[in-house]
Amino acid sequence: MAEVVLFHHVQGLTPGVVAFADELRAAGHTVHTPDLFDGRTFDSLDEGMAYVRQAGFGEVSARGVRAADGLPREVVHVGFSLGAVPAQKLAQTRAGARGALLLHACIPVSEFGTAWPEGVPVQVHAMEDDPFFAEDAEAARALVAGASDAELFLYPGEQHLFADSSLPSYDPDAAKLLTRRTLEFLDAVDRAAAHPR
């Protein structure tokens, strides 16, 4: 089964992020959930953003990169919103990455290099009318257009963190579909590793 590093969003390592990780574990995958906020969680996006501004965006992203230092290189990097930044950076720049799942966010590929690495599958998942994803949508479409194994999944609605079951923004139907697609992605990555070309 696949080994996964799952980075939380701006409200921290919430029970909903842990529950998502547990669903992947229940399917047989190994999932690491580094806590980039040292145990802090926040009740709102605004409170979480205030903490990130205080700590520094660069520092929070660097914490994610450091958290992966002690882990195998052959992992799938997954990130919820803010967590998509270290997930994408690691998938693009750390040799051996098996794939990336960018949930609710996508950064221009040019931030971390010139092109998405060949042989690293990637998916981006977001709600089509999510105001936070609006500025990321162009980057996501460019990523899909420029990578050989990339997909963008847009779900009906406007919620941002719709896959976190512990938040008011949770959308059970969309989250269920996202989880199913995530598990299918991880299974495909696992099969590809077992039968390399």
pLDDT of residue 86: 96
What span, in angstroms and rounded, lies between the C-alpha atoms of 112 and 13?
Answer: 25
Contact 140, 106 (CB under 8 A): yes
pLDDT of residue 166: 98
Residue 100, number of CB atoms within 10 A of its CB: 28
What span, in angstroms and rounded, lies between the C-alpha atoms of 76 and 101?
Answer: 8
Residue in 180, 98, 82 with CA at minimum distance from that of residue 136:
82
Residue in 23, 8, 47, 15 with CA at minimum distance from that of residue 167:
15
pLDDT of residue 191: 87
pLDDT of residue 113: 83
Per-residue pLDDT of the chain (197 residues; tens, 9 = 90+): 899 999 999 999 999 999 999 999 999 999 999 999 999 999 999 999 999 999 998 999 899 999 999 899 999 999 999 999 999 999 999 999 999 999 999 999 999 987 899 999 999 999 999 999 998 999 999 999 999 999 999 999 999 999 999 999 999 999 999 999 999 999 999 888 776 65
| Domains defined along the chain, listed by start | 3-194 (3.40.50.1820)
Phi, psi at 63, each rounded to 5°: -60, -40
pLDDT of residue 194: 73
What span, in angstroms and rounded, lies between the C-alpha atoms of 192 and 133?
Answer: 30
